[in-house]
Every structure is written in structure tokens, then in C-alpha cells.
């Protein structure tokens, strides 16, 4: 049963016009009471009047350019088009398309299954973030506007002007391109060829193509290529923002790929490639800082994720607690009730970089 405050429709959903028991006529973005009082009516008020009692009112959505991206619960699905039309009507002209994710991301390209519920069918849009412009096709590439704050945290608080950043899962480039404005150089990789195509467009669009080198390959091959090339800048920051799987890539793929070389030979190769530096105390490693992301539903998500990483590294005979001076944990955002996205930052242990090949890949 609908809320008793809703007596009748005086127009279709697109007109967003109704009469309530209090004599309030809702039309478009404005409400007129019988007394002549006029007030702004928010989407949640309209939906409270339209949806059956007892249903939790959807109150938020992610904005991607002109697209409103909903994550509706099962109880909302019978009313999905009504909800979408209200969102569209109450957020014009900024919002022109309303979509709902129909399934969890389950593919290597991180593309979402989306259903257009209201507005035009175009999923190609332009996003402006931190003064930069990004072309995005939401049906073919991954984008998450809710990570904008985290991207800026890395750039403003962690990265230095002299850094060389390696973005292993770059997508269309929101982090790589933003970082390129500040740091010395960026290596950006994504396995999705469409994402790489948009990344290259966005580099040119923001006039930063000279500071970014792009790769389109599996992240394991990418990191091996970076550390086996004699022509790369020494990497100082590695970002692994693939929360469901990023820790899986810790398993030995940062090793220098010279399995038959002696230790001394490896040191010479590392020095030649700039991974080692000469100092008054002799050779020392300049190991990169790694930022790896994951999810936790534990009461203490930082401890839970730290233990998870420790076990992953133990599988290649490297104990995180013994080889990392400090692991900094940062709560990125609450993605669902009781589920946190966490970023763990630590310096790559030398023992990982030069480990013998008797490890088990994660």
C-alpha cells in the first residue's frame, strides 16, 4: 500500500506531479501548498510519498559526468523505473541518464553490467576531477568517482615531486594523469584495451602525454617488464588499487627476473638499472613504496588486512612483520555496512626483490 499521504496522480511520472493529503501539489522541482507557500521538494520526499510503506528510501547515487549510477536493493527493483525517473527529474539538467548496476563486477576488465532506467541511452560522458577532464564510457571501462578523495590523498600527502609512479590498474587514468601533474614520471597499465584507449585520449586531453608511458597487459607481465627493462626510471611508488585481487599480485611478481644469476650479478644488474644507488656506505636498495588495497568486514579492519597481507607474503617465504619497518593502514571508505576498503602502504622488502625462485605464486 502506498503512503496515505499520496491521494492521486495528476500527471505521469515524467511530470513528477501529485497531490498529497496535506493539499501539497508536487510538480517538477517545486511544491505548492494550498496556502500558496512554495518550497523545494527533494527526491527523498517524493519517493517517500510514492513507494510502499516500509521500503528503505534510496537516498544516494554516484555521479559520473551526466550519469547517475544507482545500486538498488532487491526490494527496490519492482519500482526501479519510478525511482530512476524521480532521480532524473529532480537532478536535471546535470543528470541526463540514470543507470543501475545489475551484477557485481566479475571480469578482468572490471566492466559493470548496467541497465539504463531513465533518460538517454548514452554511457559516454565527460568527468571533471581536480581540474582535469576524463572521457569515460561507463559501459566499457571502470570508473569510481567515490575514490576521488583517495586519489588526492596519495597525490597531495604521499607522492613527491621526484617520484616515479607505477599504476598497475590505471583504468582511464584518474590517478595516473593527476599524479603526472606533480611527479617526475608515471607508468600506467591496464589489461582492458578500451580503458587504455581512453587513457591515451585523456593524456592528450590534459596535455600530459609526455610524462606518462602506457602499457596494456596483465599486471604480472607489466611489473616484470618494468623491472627487467634497462630504460625505465627507477620506480619509487607502486599503486595496486584492485581491492578484490590486488594482494594476489604480491606473490613474487616484484622479483627481479634473473633466476640463474648469482647474488652479486643481480646486484650489478640492479645498479645498472638504477634500482640500486651508490652511497658513502656502499650499495643500497632504493625499494619502492607499495600501496595495496583490499576489503575487510572485521571489527578491526586494519589488523585483519595486515594479517591477510602477512600470510600472502609468507607464501613466498617473506614475513611481512619481519621485513617491513612499518605498515601504514588507511581506511579509504565504508563500501557497505560493516565493510571497509583499506589501503596498506609499506616499503617493498629487499628480500622480495631478490628472492630465490623457490616461491609459490599467489
Binding-site residue numbers are 151, 190-191, 218-219, 241
What's the rounded Cα separation, in Å, for the pair 22 and 263?
A: 82
CA 315, CA 251: separation in Å to the nearest integer? 7
Spatial strand order of the sheet with 18-20 comes to 6-9, 18-20, 25-27, 30-32, 38-40
Quote the CA–CA distance of 10 and 28 in Å, as a whole number.
12
Q: Cell numbers at residue 322, please? A: 619481519
Q: Across the chain, how many H-helices and E-strands are there?
A: 10, 20
CA distance 243 to 111: 15
Binding positions for S-adenosyl-L-methionine: 151, 190-191, 218-219, 241
Do the beta carbons of residue 181 and residue 207 sit within 8 Å? no
Helical ranges in the chain per DSSP H: 43-50, 80-90, 148-153, 174-180, 193-205, 219-228, 263-272, 301-314, 320-323, 350-353
C-alpha distances in Å from residue 234, one per residue of 19, 230, 231, 274, 323: 66, 10, 9, 6, 21
Amino acid at each position: 500500500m502506498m503512503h496515505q499521504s499520496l491521494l492521486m496522480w495528476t500527471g505521469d511520472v515524467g511530470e513528477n506531479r501529485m497531490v498529497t493529503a496535506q493539499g501539497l501539489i508536487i510538480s517538477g522541482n517545486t511544491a505548492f501548498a494550498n496556502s500558496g507557500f512554495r518550497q523545494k521538494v527533494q527526491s527523498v520526499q517524493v519517493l517517500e510519498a510514492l513507494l510502499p510503506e516500509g521500503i528503505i528510501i534510496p537516498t544516494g547515487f554516484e555521479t559520473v559526468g551526466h550519469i547517475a549510477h544507482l545500486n538498488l536493493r532487491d526490494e527496490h527493483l519492482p519500482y526501479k523505473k519510478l525511482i530512476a525517473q524521480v532521480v532524473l527529474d529532480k537532478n536535471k539538467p546535470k543528470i541526463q541518464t540514470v543507470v543501475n548496476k545489475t551484477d557485481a563486477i566479475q571480469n578482468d576488465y572490471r566492466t559493470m553490467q548496467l541497465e539504463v532506467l531513465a533518460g538517454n541511452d548514452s554511457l559516454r560522458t565527460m568527468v571533471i576531477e581536480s581540474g582535469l577532464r576524463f572521457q569515460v564510457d561507463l559501459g566499457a571501462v571502470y570508473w569510481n568517482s567515490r575514490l576521488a578523495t583517495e586519489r588526492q590523498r596519495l597525490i597531495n600527502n604521499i607522492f613527491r615531486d621526484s617520484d616515479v609512479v607505477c599504476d598497475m590498474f590505471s583504468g582511464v587514468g584518474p590517478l595516473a594523469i593527476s599524479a603526472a601533474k606533480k611527479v617526475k614520471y608515471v607508468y600506467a597499465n591496464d589489461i582492458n584495451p578500451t580503458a587504455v584507449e581512453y587513457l591515451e585520449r585523456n593524456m592528450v586531453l590534459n596535455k600530459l602525454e609526455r610524462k606518462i608511458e602506457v602499457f596494456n597487459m596483465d599486471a604480472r607481465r607489466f611489473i616484470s617488464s618494468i623491472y627487467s627493462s634497462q630504460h625505465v626510471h627507477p620506480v619509487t611508488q607502486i599503486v595496486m588499487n584492485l581491492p578484490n585481487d590486488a594482494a594476489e599480485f604480491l606473490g613474487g611478481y616484484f622479483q627481479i627476473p634473473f633466476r640463474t644469476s648469482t647474488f652479486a650479478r643481480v646486484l650489478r644488474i640492479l645498479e645498472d638499472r638504477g634500482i640500486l644507488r651508490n652511497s658513502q656506505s656502499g650499495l643500497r636498495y632504493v625499494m619502492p613504496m607499495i600501496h595495496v588495497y583490499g576489503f575487510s568486514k572485521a571489527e578491526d579492519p586494519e589488523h585483519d588486512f595486515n594479517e591477510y597481507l602477512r600470510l600472502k607474503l609468507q607464501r613466498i617465504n617473506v614475513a611481512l612483520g619481519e621485513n617491513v619497518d612499518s605498515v601504514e593502514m588507511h581506511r579509504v571508505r565504508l563500501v557497505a555496512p560493516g565493510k571497509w576498503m583499506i589501503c596498506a602502504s609499506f616499503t617493498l622488502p629487499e628480500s622480495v626483490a631478490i628472492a630465490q625462485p623457490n616461491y609459490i605464486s599467489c
